[in-house]
Amino acid sequence: MATWPQPSPWVCVLGGRIALEKADLTLDTGELVGLIGPNGAGKTTLLRAVLGLVPLADGEVAVEGRTGRRAGRLIGYVPQRHEFAWDFPIDVAGAVLTGRTRQMGWLRRPGAGDRAAVEQALELTGLTELRRRPIGELSGGQRQRVLVARALAADPRILLLDEPFTGVDVPTQELLNELFGRLAAEGRALLMTTHDLAAAARTCHRVALINRTVVAEGGPELLADPDQMLRAFGLDRAIGTVTAS
């Protein structure tokens, strides 16, 4: 089980303002949770705070009872595609191997276990035949699979996914959906930010609506609740305009 935080309220401050407050959320093993909210709601901030990249003013992240760096070793992260240096002169297998840096340490040669983890991640994501292709020559969908494989190479218990379906073709979406379902079935926990409400309703076991706090959480049917969606997206029912972001 992954929990952040309990029991104290979780507060994240950026630039002197509160970016997230009382963002209590629990992930159970074997489930895919969709994190839904408008732009600027704090979805990516929440993921980065879980990773320890954004400081918490209060609260903590706990994974299977572990906190701090011990918790961080159990978390994998798939960033948005534009955050990766695709012009770096490296092939697919080399990019996936960078996901093993925490296990290998800096400036150390990969061992048999590292190479085996890379091969397994390439197979899971359908990239084995592309393992020697330079990453700069990949399509958008192939690049997305590289980022997923890179995270999986570390064998995380929790996988954080930041908009994994943005700009990818339908076959890649289907492949990733199947993969995420398989990972959940194996006992991992997945948290995915997405703007695709229809896909979230089809694929997520649970959803959490966020707008600088967790507004509501529940089954995918929550996405059909107009009152909760209005709260999360800051809409005014009477005039149908955005009143807050």
In this structure, what CATH number is given to the domain that contains residue 3?
Answer: 3.40.50.300
Shared domain check, 115 and 186:
no
Task: Give the torsion sign (CA, 105, 111, 117, 121).
Answer: positive
What is the pLDDT, as a whole number, of residue 167? 85
In a domain, 81, yes or no: no
d(CA 52, CA 40): 19
Shared domain check, 210 and 106:
no
In a domain, 85, yes or no: no
In a domain, 82, yes or no: no
Domain boundary pick from 111, 133, 154:
154
Domain extent, residue 129, equals: 90-154
Shared domain check, 67 and 160:
yes
Q: What is the mean pLDDT of residues 176-180?
A: 91
Domain boundary pick from 138, 154, 170:
154
Shared domain check, 171 and 241:
yes
Shared domain check, 169 and 147:
no
- Two tokens, residue 109: 């040669």
Shared domain check, 217 and 100:
no
* CB-based burial label for 155 (10 Å; 0-12, 13-18, 19+): middle
* CB-based burial label for 202 (10 Å; 0-12, 13-18, 19+): exposed
Average pLDDT, rounded, for the chain? 85
Domain boundary pick from 127, 154, 181:
154
Shared domain check, 113 and 56:
no
- Residue position matching structure tokens 């104290």: 8
**79 cis-preceded (ω within 30 degrees of 0):** no
In a domain, 220, yes or no: yes
In a domain, 83, yes or no: no
Q: What is the mean pLDDT of residues 167-187?
A: 90
In a domain, 184, yes or no: yes
The helix/strand/coil state of 87 is coil
In a domain, 79, yes or no: no
What is the pLDDT, as a whole number, of residue 12? 54
* Amino acid identity at 138: L
Shared domain check, 227 and 133:
no
d(CA 237, CA 17): 28
Least confident of 42-46, 123-127, 146-150: 42-46
DSSP letters of 181-193?
A: HHHHHTT-EEEEE
Contacts of 172 (CB under 8 A, 6+ apart): 140, 141, 142, 144, 145
Q: What does the angle CA 106 – CA 71 – CA 78 come to, to the nearest 5 degrees?
A: 65
What is the pLDDT, as a whole number, of residue 238? 36
**13 confidence band (pLDDT: 50, 70, 90):** low
Number of domains in the chain: 2
Shared domain check, 244 and 161:
yes
In a domain, 80, yes or no: no
Shared domain check, 67 and 166:
yes
Shared domain check, 194 and 210:
yes
Shared domain check, 139 and 172:
no
